[in-house]
A and B are shown apart, each in its own frame.
Chain A
Amino acid sequence: MRHFKSLIRPYLVWSFLLIIIPLLLIVLYSVTTGGNSLLNIQFTLDNFKKIADPIYRQVFLRSLKIGLITTLICLLLGYTLAYVISGFRERTQTTLILFVTIPMWINTLLRTYAWISLLSDNGVINSFLNRLGIGRMSIMYTDFAVILGMVCDLLPFMVIPIHTALAKMDKSLIEASYDLGANRRQTFWKVTFKLSIPGVINGLTMVFLLSISTFVIPKLLGGGQYVLIGNLIEKQFISVGDWNFGSAISLILAVAILIMIWATKKIDTSEGGER
Protein backbone atom coordinates (compact mmCIF):
# COMPACT_ATOMS: atom_id res chain seq x y z
CA MET A 1 0.00 0.00 0.00
CA ARG A 2 3.03 2.29 0.36
CA HIS A 3 2.93 2.91 -3.40
CA PHE A 4 -0.17 5.00 -2.97
CA LYS A 5 1.40 7.56 -0.68
CA SER A 6 2.43 9.73 -3.59
CA LEU A 7 -1.17 10.05 -4.75
CA ILE A 8 -1.67 13.09 -2.56
CA ARG A 9 1.02 15.09 -4.33
CA PRO A 10 -1.21 16.64 -7.03
CA TYR A 11 -3.69 17.81 -4.42
CA LEU A 12 -0.92 19.11 -2.20
CA VAL A 13 0.18 21.43 -5.00
CA TRP A 14 -3.40 22.18 -6.04
CA SER A 15 -4.57 23.08 -2.55
CA PHE A 16 -1.55 25.30 -2.05
CA LEU A 17 -2.21 27.18 -5.29
CA LEU A 18 -5.99 27.49 -5.05
CA ILE A 19 -6.75 27.44 -1.33
CA ILE A 20 -3.77 28.88 0.53
CA ILE A 21 -2.60 31.49 -1.98
CA PRO A 22 -6.02 33.12 -2.48
CA LEU A 23 -6.39 33.50 1.28
CA LEU A 24 -2.92 35.00 1.52
CA LEU A 25 -3.82 37.37 -1.31
CA ILE A 26 -6.88 38.52 0.62
CA VAL A 27 -4.65 39.22 3.61
CA LEU A 28 -2.13 41.04 1.40
CA TYR A 29 -4.80 43.16 -0.28
CA SER A 30 -6.36 44.03 3.06
CA VAL A 31 -3.18 45.64 4.40
CA THR A 32 -2.10 47.46 1.25
CA THR A 33 -3.26 50.16 -1.09
CA GLY A 34 -2.84 50.37 -4.81
CA GLY A 35 -5.47 47.93 -5.95
CA ASN A 36 -4.51 45.47 -8.62
CA SER A 37 -1.12 46.74 -9.62
CA LEU A 38 1.15 44.82 -7.32
CA LEU A 39 4.08 46.98 -8.39
CA ASN A 40 3.19 50.06 -6.39
CA ILE A 41 1.70 48.62 -3.23
CA GLN A 42 2.04 50.37 0.08
CA PHE A 43 1.33 48.87 3.44
CA THR A 44 -1.38 50.54 5.47
CA LEU A 45 -4.09 49.85 8.00
CA ASP A 46 -6.44 52.41 6.48
CA ASN A 47 -8.69 49.68 5.08
CA PHE A 48 -9.47 48.50 8.57
CA LYS A 49 -9.84 52.04 9.92
CA LYS A 50 -12.39 52.71 7.23
CA ILE A 51 -14.69 50.11 8.79
CA ALA A 52 -15.06 52.34 11.85
CA ASP A 53 -16.67 54.96 9.60
CA PRO A 54 -20.31 55.39 10.76
CA ILE A 55 -21.73 54.35 7.38
CA TYR A 56 -19.89 51.05 7.43
CA ARG A 57 -20.30 50.54 11.16
CA GLN A 58 -24.01 50.73 10.57
CA VAL A 59 -23.79 48.00 7.93
CA PHE A 60 -21.98 45.74 10.40
CA LEU A 61 -24.49 46.44 13.18
CA ARG A 62 -27.40 45.85 10.85
CA SER A 63 -25.93 42.55 9.67
CA LEU A 64 -25.46 41.47 13.26
CA LYS A 65 -29.00 42.47 14.15
CA ILE A 66 -30.58 40.69 11.18
CA GLY A 67 -28.33 37.68 11.79
CA LEU A 68 -29.28 37.44 15.46
CA ILE A 69 -33.01 37.82 14.82
CA THR A 70 -32.87 35.19 12.07
CA THR A 71 -30.92 32.81 14.31
CA LEU A 72 -33.36 33.27 17.18
CA ILE A 73 -36.43 32.64 15.01
CA CYS A 74 -34.73 29.61 13.46
CA LEU A 75 -33.97 28.28 16.93
CA LEU A 76 -37.61 28.55 18.05
CA LEU A 77 -39.13 27.17 14.86
CA GLY A 78 -36.34 24.66 14.26
CA TYR A 79 -36.23 23.23 17.75
CA THR A 80 -39.98 22.72 17.72
CA LEU A 81 -39.81 21.02 14.34
CA ALA A 82 -36.92 18.76 15.34
CA TYR A 83 -38.63 17.88 18.62
CA VAL A 84 -41.96 17.16 16.97
CA ILE A 85 -40.29 15.00 14.31
CA SER A 86 -38.38 13.02 16.94
CA GLY A 87 -41.73 11.90 18.39
CA PHE A 88 -42.57 9.76 15.36
CA ARG A 89 -41.59 6.19 14.52
CA GLU A 90 -38.07 5.84 13.17
CA ARG A 91 -39.06 5.20 9.56
CA THR A 92 -41.40 8.17 9.51
CA GLN A 93 -38.63 10.29 11.00
CA THR A 94 -36.26 9.39 8.16
CA THR A 95 -38.83 10.44 5.58
CA LEU A 96 -39.65 13.69 7.38
CA ILE A 97 -35.96 14.58 7.73
CA LEU A 98 -35.49 13.84 4.02
CA PHE A 99 -38.12 16.46 3.26
CA VAL A 100 -36.29 18.93 5.49
CA THR A 101 -33.00 18.31 3.65
CA ILE A 102 -34.27 18.51 0.06
CA PRO A 103 -34.50 22.33 0.04
CA MET A 104 -30.86 22.54 1.18
CA TRP A 105 -29.83 21.09 -2.17
CA ILE A 106 -31.51 23.87 -4.12
CA ASN A 107 -29.44 27.03 -4.10
CA THR A 108 -30.31 30.16 -2.17
CA LEU A 109 -30.68 32.24 -5.31
CA LEU A 110 -33.52 30.17 -6.77
CA ARG A 111 -35.32 29.77 -3.46
CA THR A 112 -35.11 33.48 -2.78
CA TYR A 113 -36.23 34.30 -6.28
CA ALA A 114 -39.25 32.08 -5.67
CA TRP A 115 -40.27 34.30 -2.76
CA ILE A 116 -40.33 37.42 -4.93
CA SER A 117 -43.42 36.41 -6.87
CA LEU A 118 -45.18 35.67 -3.57
CA LEU A 119 -44.18 38.84 -1.74
CA SER A 120 -44.14 41.56 -4.39
CA ASP A 121 -46.72 44.35 -4.40
CA ASN A 122 -48.86 42.62 -7.00
CA GLY A 123 -47.73 39.16 -5.97
CA VAL A 124 -49.70 36.13 -4.87
CA ILE A 125 -50.01 37.10 -1.19
CA ASN A 126 -51.10 40.66 -1.92
CA SER A 127 -53.68 39.68 -4.49
CA PHE A 128 -55.03 37.17 -2.00
CA LEU A 129 -55.25 39.81 0.74
CA ASN A 130 -56.88 42.14 -1.73
CA ARG A 131 -59.57 39.60 -2.54
CA LEU A 132 -60.24 39.18 1.17
CA GLY A 133 -60.76 42.93 1.32
CA ILE A 134 -57.84 43.59 3.65
CA GLY A 135 -56.00 45.67 1.11
CA ARG A 136 -52.43 45.58 -0.07
CA MET A 137 -49.33 45.60 2.08
CA SER A 138 -45.83 46.49 1.10
CA ILE A 139 -43.77 43.44 2.07
CA MET A 140 -40.88 43.54 -0.38
CA TYR A 141 -37.82 45.58 0.48
CA THR A 142 -38.36 45.50 4.24
CA ASP A 143 -36.48 43.88 7.13
CA PHE A 144 -39.40 41.50 7.37
CA ALA A 145 -38.94 40.21 3.82
CA VAL A 146 -35.20 39.74 4.30
CA ILE A 147 -35.64 37.88 7.60
CA LEU A 148 -38.41 35.75 6.10
CA GLY A 149 -36.16 34.77 3.21
CA MET A 150 -33.28 33.97 5.53
CA VAL A 151 -35.39 31.90 7.92
CA CYS A 152 -36.81 29.87 5.03
CA ASP A 153 -33.36 29.32 3.57
CA LEU A 154 -31.55 28.48 6.80
CA LEU A 155 -34.13 26.66 8.93
CA PRO A 156 -32.98 23.18 7.76
CA PHE A 157 -29.47 23.95 9.05
CA MET A 158 -31.00 24.34 12.51
CA VAL A 159 -33.35 21.35 12.34
CA ILE A 160 -30.84 18.73 11.21
CA PRO A 161 -28.23 18.98 14.02
CA ILE A 162 -30.91 19.31 16.71
CA HIS A 163 -32.78 16.32 15.35
CA THR A 164 -29.56 14.31 15.26
CA ALA A 165 -28.94 15.16 18.93
CA LEU A 166 -32.52 14.27 19.91
CA ALA A 167 -32.53 11.04 17.91
CA LYS A 168 -29.40 9.63 19.49
CA MET A 169 -30.61 10.51 22.98
CA ASP A 170 -31.27 7.55 25.25
CA LYS A 171 -35.07 7.46 25.61
CA SER A 172 -34.92 5.58 28.89
CA LEU A 173 -33.54 8.75 30.52
CA ILE A 174 -36.88 10.41 29.90
CA GLU A 175 -38.77 7.49 31.37
CA ALA A 176 -36.42 7.57 34.35
CA SER A 177 -37.14 11.23 34.82
CA TYR A 178 -40.91 10.60 34.84
CA ASP A 179 -40.50 7.65 37.17
CA LEU A 180 -38.59 9.84 39.56
CA GLY A 181 -41.53 12.21 39.69
CA ALA A 182 -40.57 15.00 37.30
CA ASN A 183 -43.41 16.52 35.31
CA ARG A 184 -43.35 17.14 31.57
CA ARG A 185 -41.86 20.62 31.75
CA GLN A 186 -39.14 19.62 34.21
CA THR A 187 -38.30 16.58 32.13
CA PHE A 188 -38.06 18.66 28.98
CA TRP A 189 -35.79 21.37 30.37
CA LYS A 190 -33.66 19.23 32.66
CA VAL A 191 -33.26 16.15 30.48
CA THR A 192 -34.26 16.53 26.84
CA PHE A 193 -33.10 20.09 26.26
CA LYS A 194 -29.87 19.64 28.19
CA LEU A 195 -28.93 16.59 26.16
CA SER A 196 -29.69 18.35 22.89
CA ILE A 197 -27.44 21.35 23.63
CA PRO A 198 -24.57 20.21 21.35
CA GLY A 199 -27.03 20.06 18.44
CA VAL A 200 -28.44 23.45 19.36
CA ILE A 201 -24.97 25.01 19.41
CA ASN A 202 -24.13 23.50 16.03
CA GLY A 203 -27.38 24.79 14.56
CA LEU A 204 -26.92 28.25 16.04
CA THR A 205 -23.42 28.63 14.59
CA MET A 206 -24.41 27.35 11.15
CA VAL A 207 -27.44 29.62 10.84
CA PHE A 208 -25.68 32.67 12.21
CA LEU A 209 -22.64 32.23 9.96
CA LEU A 210 -24.68 31.75 6.84
CA SER A 211 -27.02 34.62 7.67
CA ILE A 212 -24.26 37.21 8.12
CA SER A 213 -22.36 36.24 4.98
CA THR A 214 -25.16 36.02 2.42
CA PHE A 215 -25.53 38.72 -0.17
CA VAL A 216 -28.18 37.19 -2.38
CA ILE A 217 -31.11 37.30 0.05
CA PRO A 218 -30.75 40.98 1.08
CA LYS A 219 -30.15 41.98 -2.54
CA LEU A 220 -33.25 40.21 -3.88
CA LEU A 221 -35.69 40.76 -1.03
CA GLY A 222 -34.21 43.93 0.48
CA GLY A 223 -33.56 45.81 -2.74
CA GLY A 224 -30.52 47.64 -4.03
CA GLN A 225 -30.39 50.05 -1.09
CA TYR A 226 -30.36 47.28 1.48
CA VAL A 227 -26.73 46.67 2.43
CA LEU A 228 -25.42 43.92 4.69
CA ILE A 229 -21.80 42.76 5.03
CA GLY A 230 -22.08 40.44 2.04
CA ASN A 231 -23.48 43.20 -0.16
CA LEU A 232 -20.75 45.57 0.98
CA ILE A 233 -18.12 43.06 -0.11
CA GLU A 234 -19.88 42.45 -3.42
CA LYS A 235 -20.06 46.19 -4.07
CA GLN A 236 -16.35 46.69 -3.44
CA PHE A 237 -15.46 44.00 -5.93
CA ILE A 238 -18.11 44.36 -8.60
CA SER A 239 -19.10 48.02 -8.80
CA VAL A 240 -16.87 50.25 -6.62
CA GLY A 241 -13.60 48.54 -7.44
CA ASP A 242 -11.96 49.10 -4.04
CA TRP A 243 -10.57 45.58 -3.71
CA ASN A 244 -8.38 46.52 -0.77
CA PHE A 245 -11.29 47.61 1.39
CA GLY A 246 -13.35 44.63 0.18
CA SER A 247 -10.53 42.28 1.20
CA ALA A 248 -10.33 43.86 4.65
CA ILE A 249 -14.05 43.25 5.25
CA SER A 250 -13.80 39.68 3.93
CA LEU A 251 -10.80 39.01 6.12
CA ILE A 252 -12.68 40.13 9.22
CA LEU A 253 -15.67 38.02 8.20
CA ALA A 254 -13.54 34.93 7.50
CA VAL A 255 -11.55 35.23 10.73
CA ALA A 256 -14.68 35.77 12.82
CA ILE A 257 -16.32 32.74 11.24
CA LEU A 258 -13.32 30.43 11.55
CA ILE A 259 -12.97 31.40 15.23
CA MET A 260 -16.66 30.66 15.82
CA ILE A 261 -16.43 27.26 14.14
CA TRP A 262 -13.31 26.45 16.12
CA ALA A 263 -15.02 27.47 19.37
CA THR A 264 -18.07 25.35 18.51
CA LYS A 265 -15.84 22.35 17.92
CA LYS A 266 -14.14 22.95 21.27
CA ILE A 267 -17.50 23.05 23.07
CA ASP A 268 -18.61 19.98 21.15
CA THR A 269 -15.61 17.88 22.14
CA SER A 270 -15.62 19.03 25.78
CA GLU A 271 -19.35 18.24 26.01
CA GLY A 272 -18.60 14.83 24.56
CA GLY A 273 -15.78 14.34 27.02
CA GLU A 274 -17.99 14.92 30.03
CA ARG A 275 -20.25 12.05 29.25
Chain B
Amino acid sequence: MYNFDFVKPKTLAEATAAMAGEEAQALGGGQTLIPSLKARLASPTTLVSLSGIKEMVGVCKGDDGSLCIGGATPHAVVAAEAAKTYPALAKLAGGIGDPAVRNRGTVGGSLANNDPAACYPSAALASATVVTNRRRIAADDYFQGMFTTALEAGEIVTEVRFPVPEKAAYIKFEQPASRFALTGVFVAKFKDGVRVAVTGASEEGVFRWAEAEAALSKNFSAAALAGLAASADGMITDLHGTAAYRAHLVGVLTRRAVEAAA
Protein backbone atom coordinates (compact mmCIF):
# COMPACT_ATOMS: atom_id res chain seq x y z
CA MET B 1 0.00 0.00 0.00
CA TYR B 2 1.33 3.42 -0.94
CA ASN B 3 1.28 5.92 1.88
CA PHE B 4 -1.27 8.73 2.15
CA ASP B 5 -2.29 11.47 4.53
CA PHE B 6 -5.07 10.40 6.85
CA VAL B 7 -7.64 12.89 8.07
CA LYS B 8 -10.67 12.25 10.21
CA PRO B 9 -13.05 15.21 10.17
CA LYS B 10 -15.72 15.55 12.85
CA THR B 11 -18.30 17.35 10.73
CA LEU B 12 -19.64 17.02 7.21
CA ALA B 13 -18.47 20.56 6.43
CA GLU B 14 -14.91 19.64 7.38
CA ALA B 15 -15.14 16.45 5.32
CA THR B 16 -16.42 18.34 2.29
CA ALA B 17 -13.49 20.74 2.60
CA ALA B 18 -11.02 17.86 2.93
CA MET B 19 -12.52 16.12 -0.11
CA ALA B 20 -11.90 19.21 -2.22
CA GLY B 21 -8.18 18.42 -2.18
CA GLU B 22 -6.67 16.78 -5.23
CA GLU B 23 -6.65 12.97 -5.16
CA ALA B 24 -8.65 12.90 -1.95
CA GLN B 25 -10.64 9.72 -1.37
CA ALA B 26 -13.44 9.16 1.13
CA LEU B 27 -13.02 6.20 3.48
CA GLY B 28 -16.16 4.51 4.82
CA GLY B 29 -15.56 1.27 6.69
CA GLY B 30 -12.70 0.38 4.38
CA GLN B 31 -13.78 -3.22 3.85
CA THR B 32 -13.32 -2.84 0.10
CA LEU B 33 -11.13 0.23 -0.08
CA ILE B 34 -8.36 -1.04 2.22
CA PRO B 35 -7.93 -4.31 0.26
CA SER B 36 -7.92 -2.17 -2.92
CA LEU B 37 -5.21 0.06 -1.46
CA LYS B 38 -3.17 -3.00 -0.50
CA ALA B 39 -3.41 -4.23 -4.07
CA ARG B 40 -2.40 -0.75 -5.26
CA LEU B 41 -5.61 -0.51 -7.26
CA ALA B 42 -6.08 2.91 -5.67
CA SER B 43 -3.47 5.40 -4.48
CA PRO B 44 -5.10 8.51 -3.07
CA THR B 45 -2.98 11.34 -1.69
CA THR B 46 -5.38 11.91 1.17
CA LEU B 47 -7.82 9.51 2.79
CA VAL B 48 -10.78 11.25 4.40
CA SER B 49 -12.31 9.02 7.07
CA LEU B 50 -16.06 9.48 7.45
CA SER B 51 -16.30 7.42 10.64
CA GLY B 52 -15.93 10.36 12.98
CA ILE B 53 -18.91 12.30 11.62
CA LYS B 54 -21.71 11.65 14.09
CA GLU B 55 -24.41 13.21 11.90
CA MET B 56 -23.72 10.52 9.29
CA VAL B 57 -24.28 7.51 11.55
CA GLY B 58 -27.63 6.03 12.51
CA VAL B 59 -31.04 4.92 11.37
CA CYS B 60 -34.13 7.08 11.72
CA LYS B 61 -37.59 7.55 10.29
CA GLY B 62 -38.16 10.49 7.95
CA ASP B 63 -41.25 12.72 7.84
CA ASP B 64 -42.56 10.81 4.82
CA GLY B 65 -42.19 7.46 6.59
CA SER B 66 -38.96 6.59 4.79
CA LEU B 67 -36.15 4.88 6.58
CA CYS B 68 -33.19 7.27 6.59
CA ILE B 69 -29.81 5.65 7.02
CA GLY B 70 -26.70 7.75 7.56
CA GLY B 71 -24.05 7.10 4.95
CA ALA B 72 -21.47 6.03 7.54
CA THR B 73 -23.80 3.56 9.28
CA PRO B 74 -22.29 0.06 9.53
CA HIS B 75 -24.22 -2.93 8.19
CA ALA B 76 -24.54 -4.44 11.68
CA VAL B 77 -26.34 -1.32 12.92
CA VAL B 78 -28.76 -1.40 9.98
CA ALA B 79 -29.37 -5.13 10.55
CA ALA B 80 -30.33 -4.42 14.16
CA GLU B 81 -32.15 -1.10 13.88
CA ALA B 82 -34.13 -1.66 10.67
CA ALA B 83 -35.32 -5.12 11.73
CA LYS B 84 -38.81 -3.94 12.70
CA THR B 85 -39.43 -1.16 10.19
CA TYR B 86 -37.92 -2.72 7.06
CA PRO B 87 -37.10 -6.39 7.71
CA ALA B 88 -36.02 -7.18 4.13
CA LEU B 89 -33.41 -4.43 4.24
CA ALA B 90 -32.24 -5.51 7.71
CA LYS B 91 -31.86 -9.08 6.47
CA LEU B 92 -29.83 -7.90 3.50
CA ALA B 93 -27.53 -5.86 5.74
CA GLY B 94 -27.19 -8.77 8.17
CA GLY B 95 -26.13 -11.09 5.36
CA ILE B 96 -23.26 -9.04 3.96
CA GLY B 97 -19.80 -10.56 4.42
CA ASP B 98 -19.30 -11.81 7.97
CA PRO B 99 -19.86 -10.28 11.43
CA ALA B 100 -16.49 -8.49 11.56
CA VAL B 101 -17.01 -7.01 8.10
CA ARG B 102 -20.53 -5.90 9.06
CA ASN B 103 -19.14 -4.04 12.07
CA ARG B 104 -17.05 -1.83 9.79
CA GLY B 105 -18.56 -1.75 6.30
CA THR B 106 -21.05 1.05 5.63
CA VAL B 107 -24.04 1.60 3.37
CA GLY B 108 -22.51 4.75 1.89
CA GLY B 109 -19.27 2.97 1.13
CA SER B 110 -21.07 0.10 -0.56
CA LEU B 111 -23.17 2.40 -2.73
CA ALA B 112 -20.25 4.68 -3.61
CA ASN B 113 -18.19 1.68 -4.69
CA ASN B 114 -21.08 0.00 -6.57
CA ASP B 115 -19.46 -3.40 -6.81
CA PRO B 116 -21.46 -5.38 -9.40
CA ALA B 117 -21.90 -8.20 -6.87
CA ALA B 118 -22.60 -6.13 -3.74
CA CYS B 119 -25.92 -6.55 -1.95
CA TYR B 120 -26.87 -2.95 -1.07
CA PRO B 121 -27.17 -1.61 -4.64
CA SER B 122 -30.13 -3.95 -5.23
CA ALA B 123 -32.06 -2.60 -2.25
CA ALA B 124 -31.19 0.95 -3.25
CA LEU B 125 -32.26 0.46 -6.86
CA ALA B 126 -35.48 -1.10 -5.65
CA SER B 127 -36.49 2.06 -3.85
CA ALA B 128 -33.94 4.45 -2.47
CA THR B 129 -32.85 8.00 -2.95
CA VAL B 130 -29.17 8.71 -2.41
CA VAL B 131 -28.47 11.93 -0.53
CA THR B 132 -25.03 13.51 -0.82
CA ASN B 133 -23.36 16.60 0.51
CA ARG B 134 -24.59 18.37 -2.65
CA ARG B 135 -27.91 16.93 -3.82
CA ARG B 136 -30.44 14.12 -3.89
CA ILE B 137 -30.08 11.47 -6.57
CA ALA B 138 -32.87 9.02 -7.45
CA ALA B 139 -31.53 5.46 -7.55
CA ASP B 140 -32.48 5.12 -11.22
CA ASP B 141 -30.04 7.93 -12.02
CA TYR B 142 -27.43 6.97 -9.45
CA PHE B 143 -26.21 3.61 -10.74
CA GLN B 144 -24.34 4.00 -14.02
CA GLY B 145 -22.59 0.67 -14.55
CA MET B 146 -20.04 -1.54 -12.88
CA PHE B 147 -18.17 0.46 -10.19
CA THR B 148 -19.66 3.62 -11.70
CA THR B 149 -22.14 6.02 -10.11
CA ALA B 150 -23.43 9.54 -10.56
CA LEU B 151 -21.14 10.71 -7.76
CA GLU B 152 -18.76 13.48 -8.78
CA ALA B 153 -15.32 14.15 -7.39
CA GLY B 154 -15.57 15.25 -3.80
CA GLU B 155 -19.16 14.09 -3.41
CA ILE B 156 -19.99 12.11 -0.26
CA VAL B 157 -22.99 9.82 0.32
CA THR B 158 -24.34 11.32 3.53
CA GLU B 159 -27.64 9.49 3.74
CA VAL B 160 -29.72 6.90 1.94
CA ARG B 161 -33.50 7.21 2.08
CA PHE B 162 -35.50 4.03 1.70
CA PRO B 163 -39.28 4.32 1.34
CA VAL B 164 -40.63 1.26 3.15
CA PRO B 165 -42.45 -1.10 0.76
CA GLU B 166 -45.66 -2.97 1.58
CA LYS B 167 -43.82 -6.22 0.99
CA ALA B 168 -40.20 -6.95 0.16
CA ALA B 169 -37.53 -9.64 0.22
CA TYR B 170 -33.93 -10.06 -0.81
CA ILE B 171 -32.64 -13.46 -1.82
CA LYS B 172 -29.02 -13.97 -2.72
CA PHE B 173 -27.23 -16.95 -4.10
CA GLU B 174 -23.91 -16.65 -2.33
CA GLN B 175 -20.55 -17.06 -3.90
CA PRO B 176 -19.33 -19.23 -1.04
CA ALA B 177 -15.76 -17.91 -0.74
CA SER B 178 -16.43 -14.17 -0.84
CA ARG B 179 -20.09 -14.27 0.27
CA PHE B 180 -20.82 -11.65 -2.35
CA ALA B 181 -23.93 -12.31 -4.42
CA LEU B 182 -23.26 -14.67 -7.31
CA THR B 183 -26.68 -13.29 -8.13
CA GLY B 184 -29.09 -11.55 -5.78
CA VAL B 185 -32.60 -10.23 -6.31
CA PHE B 186 -34.43 -7.58 -4.29
CA VAL B 187 -38.19 -7.47 -4.82
CA ALA B 188 -40.17 -4.57 -3.37
CA LYS B 189 -43.94 -4.14 -3.68
CA PHE B 190 -45.16 -0.57 -3.33
CA LYS B 191 -48.68 0.75 -3.58
CA ASP B 192 -48.01 1.99 -7.11
CA GLY B 193 -46.00 -0.94 -8.45
CA VAL B 194 -43.33 -3.53 -7.97
CA ARG B 195 -39.58 -3.08 -8.37
CA VAL B 196 -37.24 -5.98 -9.08
CA ALA B 197 -33.53 -5.14 -8.76
CA VAL B 198 -30.85 -7.66 -9.67
CA THR B 199 -27.24 -7.61 -8.49
CA GLY B 200 -24.29 -9.89 -9.22
CA ALA B 201 -25.53 -10.88 -12.66
CA SER B 202 -24.94 -8.12 -15.19
CA GLU B 203 -21.74 -6.72 -16.62
CA GLU B 204 -23.43 -3.32 -16.25
CA GLY B 205 -23.88 -3.76 -12.49
CA VAL B 206 -27.21 -3.67 -10.71
CA PHE B 207 -30.28 -3.45 -12.98
CA ARG B 208 -34.07 -3.60 -12.90
CA TRP B 209 -35.81 -6.55 -14.54
CA ALA B 210 -38.57 -4.67 -16.33
CA GLU B 211 -40.59 -7.68 -17.57
CA ALA B 212 -40.82 -9.13 -14.07
CA GLU B 213 -41.79 -5.74 -12.65
CA ALA B 214 -44.63 -5.43 -15.17
CA ALA B 215 -45.92 -8.93 -14.47
CA LEU B 216 -45.68 -8.60 -10.69
CA SER B 217 -47.28 -5.16 -10.69
CA LYS B 218 -50.40 -6.79 -12.17
CA ASN B 219 -50.31 -9.86 -9.99
CA PHE B 220 -47.87 -10.12 -7.09
CA SER B 221 -47.36 -13.86 -7.05
CA ALA B 222 -44.72 -16.30 -8.22
CA ALA B 223 -47.28 -17.62 -10.72
CA ALA B 224 -47.18 -14.27 -12.51
CA LEU B 225 -43.56 -15.00 -13.43
CA ALA B 226 -44.39 -18.23 -15.28
CA GLY B 227 -42.78 -18.24 -18.71
CA LEU B 228 -40.60 -15.21 -17.99
CA ALA B 229 -36.87 -15.63 -18.41
CA ALA B 230 -34.13 -13.05 -18.07
CA SER B 231 -31.89 -12.70 -21.11
CA ALA B 232 -28.31 -13.92 -20.77
CA ASP B 233 -27.08 -11.09 -23.00
CA GLY B 234 -24.63 -8.94 -21.06
CA MET B 235 -24.58 -11.23 -18.03
CA ILE B 236 -21.31 -11.99 -16.28
CA THR B 237 -19.42 -15.16 -17.11
CA ASP B 238 -16.63 -16.15 -14.73
CA LEU B 239 -15.28 -19.29 -13.08
CA HIS B 240 -18.24 -19.35 -10.68
CA GLY B 241 -20.95 -19.38 -13.32
CA THR B 242 -21.79 -18.68 -16.95
CA ALA B 243 -24.03 -15.93 -18.25
CA ALA B 244 -26.77 -18.47 -18.90
CA TYR B 245 -26.45 -19.80 -15.36
CA ARG B 246 -26.78 -16.32 -13.90
CA ALA B 247 -29.75 -15.52 -16.14
CA HIS B 248 -31.42 -18.68 -14.87
CA LEU B 249 -30.64 -17.67 -11.28
CA VAL B 250 -32.34 -14.31 -11.84
CA GLY B 251 -35.61 -16.12 -12.58
CA VAL B 252 -35.26 -18.58 -9.71
CA LEU B 253 -34.30 -15.97 -7.13
CA THR B 254 -37.02 -13.55 -8.23
CA ARG B 255 -39.62 -16.28 -7.69
CA ARG B 256 -38.14 -17.11 -4.30
CA ALA B 257 -38.08 -13.43 -3.33
CA VAL B 258 -41.75 -13.00 -4.26
CA GLU B 259 -42.63 -16.06 -2.21
CA ALA B 260 -40.59 -14.81 0.74
CA ALA B 261 -41.84 -11.21 0.55
CA ALA B 262 -43.81 -10.26 3.58
Q: Do A and B come from the same complex?
A: no
- A interface residues (Cβ-Cβ under 8 A, vs B): none
